[in-house]
Amino acid sequence: MSESIRRAAIVTGGSRGIGRAVCLALAAQGLDIVVNYAGSAAAAAETAALCEEKGVKAITVQADVSTAQGADALFEAAMAAFGRVDVLVNNAGITRDGLILRMTEEDFDQVIATNLKGAFLCAKKAARIMMKQRYGRIISISSVVGVHGNAGQANYAASKAGLIGMTKSLAKELGSRHITANAVAPGFIDTDMTRVLPEAAKTALLGQIPLGALGRPEDIGSAVAFLASEQAGYITGQVLGVDGGMGM
């Protein structure tokens, strides 16, 4: 691609946590950023401002990616602002944990709708644009539990395993158009999502991590930035564990 083309990335759930770190890592590589969020407008604005400090343009877009209308609105706003989408990071995610006997149908449906269907809806929009560009990177944030499972997370683990199957399928479908699709599988990362865990659970988790610490959102940001880069152009259909060795 010509040096003069400025690239743009959409990060779903870019307002906080891992999504914010991904936005900042991509901004540091010179990409303009679309910070999507569900409800945290102030946090999203703060992420966008931090990106702009790195010398790129950034916009915020409120959109529920679990609905087709939300995904449509997100991509319309991105195209209106930047005229292209080079990188899609499917990061938006929720948990509704519970053991299977207690997990409600609604808990299951909500998690699948946000974590898996949301990624499908966004990938479908991105694929159309990227096929015309003959260039693109689709990166989905899976999880170590999507590979190994986790008691109390049948819905969440299913959504994250689903992302891996979808990623490999997209890699096969879109490779001829120079579009790569990869997944990043974080272990336990210190964000709002894991801050709610009881201390005893965190201590038990630390015992399962060879590197002996929770990960930082920046650890995921740098892995995503690598997969989004030119240097990763021959990597597709892969699941990159960023988990302190937990998933071995």
Active site residues: 156
Within 210-229, the residues that bind ligand NDP by CB under 6 A are none
Residue selected from 29, 133, 194, 208 as contacting ligand NDP according to rule CB under 6 A:
194
Judged by beta carbon, residue 5 or residue 204, the one nearer ligand NDP is: 204
Stretch that binds ligand NDP, among 99-107, 114-122, 123-131, 169-177 (CB under 6 A): 114-122
**Residue 175: CB partners within 8 Å, gap ≥ 6?**
236
Task: Estimate to the nearest angstrom the gap between the alpha carbon of 181 and the chain centroid.
Answer: 12
Query: How many chain residues interact with ligand NDP (CB under 6 A)?
Result: 32
CB 243, CB 219: distance < 8 Å? no
Return the ∠ at Cα 180 (arms to 48 and 226), rounded to 5°. 50
Judged by beta carbon, residue 118 or residue 136, the one nearer ligand NDP is: 118
Stretch that binds ligand NDP, among 25-33, 59-67, 75-83, 227-235 (CB under 6 A): 59-67
What does the per-residue mask of binding to ligand NDP show for 36-55, with x meaning CB under 6 A? xxxxx--x------------
DSSP 3-state of 62:
strand
**Cβ of residue 87: shortest distance to ligand NDP, in angstroms?**
16
Judged by beta carbon, residue 17 or residue 136, the one nearer ligand NDP is: 17
Judged by beta carbon, residue 12 or residue 182, the one nearer ligand NDP is: 12
**Residue 174: CB partners within 8 Å, gap ≥ 6?**
127, 130, 131, 136, 138, 180, 181
Residue selected from 32, 64, 86, 107 as contacting ligand NDP according to rule CB under 6 A:
64
Residue selected from 153, 182, 191, 236 as contacting ligand NDP according to rule CB under 6 A:
191
Helices 17-28 and 41-52 pack at an angle, to 10 degrees, of 20
Q: Burial of 92 by CB count in 10 Å (0-12 exposed, 13-18 middle, 19+ buried)?
A: buried
Q: Which strands make up the sheet holding 87-90, listed edge to edge? A: 58-62, 32-37, 8-11, 87-90, 136-141, 179-186, 239-242
For residue 112, give Cα distances in angstroms to 10, 159, 220, 228, 246.
21, 5, 22, 25, 24
Q: Does 155 bind ligand NDP (CB under 6 A)?
A: no
Binding site for ligand NDP (CB under 6 A): 12-13, 15-19, 36-40, 43, 64-66, 91-94, 114-115, 118, 141, 143, 186, 188-189, 191-194
